[in-house]
Amino acid sequence: MYRRSVLQHLVSAFTLVLLPLSAAQAKGPKNKDKPAKNKRMPPGHARKEKYRVAVAPPKPVAEPRPEAPSPRHVWVPGYWSWSNERHIWVSGMWSMPPQQNVVWVQPQWVNESGSWLFFEGQWSLSIR
């Protein structure tokens, strides 16, 4: 009799806890018809913001572009980043793409209601 009551208890616990969870998972997310909104994301770039600051970045610095080390190198322009509570200039450089058919997507600062969001640069597949 003791074994049977323990078994019934376990079956009841399974029924009360696990079955509703699996039913909810089978239904999927509640708002599946609504696309996820992320107003902060720059159009066409699937990047996450790295910094959010109250200070606008300065104007880009004009810098000379030295000769390319090889025809395969790509110029990655300089940009303003954020470090130690201030903007810092990261100089441009020649970079070798990690694979064929990729392009450099420049880092970007986006203003959202008075806050400045920074999205890092990245290599992205070329759509050609």
In this structure, is residue 106 part of a structural domain? yes
Q: Classify residue 21: in a domain, yes or no.
A: no
Whether residue 102 lies inside any domain: the answer is yes
Q: Residue 18 and residue 10: Cα distance in Å, rounded? A: 11
Asked whether residue 35 is assigned to any structural domain, the reply reads no
Residue 62 lies in a domain: yes
- List C-alpha distances in Å: 26 to 12, 29, 36, 79: 21, 9, 20, 46
Share of the chain above pLDDT 70, in %: 62
**Do the Cβ atoms of 109 and 57 come closer than 8 Å?**
yes
- pLDDT tens digits, one per residue of 19-64: 343 344 344 333 333 333 333 334 444 567 688 999 999 999 999 9
DSSP H or E stretch at residue 25:
helix 19-27
Q: What is the predicted pLDDT for the residue at 46?
A: 58
pLDDT at 10 over 80: no
Give me the number of domains the chain comprises. 1
Question: Per-residue pLDDT for 2 more than 90?
Answer: no
Average pLDDT, the chain: 74
Q: Can you give the residue range of the structural domain that contains 79?
A: 47-125
- Which has the closest alpha carbon to 90: 63, 114, 117? 63
Share of the chain above pLDDT 90, in %: 58
With respect to residue 23, please indicate whether it lies within any of the assigned structural domains.
no
- Residue 118 falls inside a structural domain: yes
Specify if 54 maps to a domain.
yes
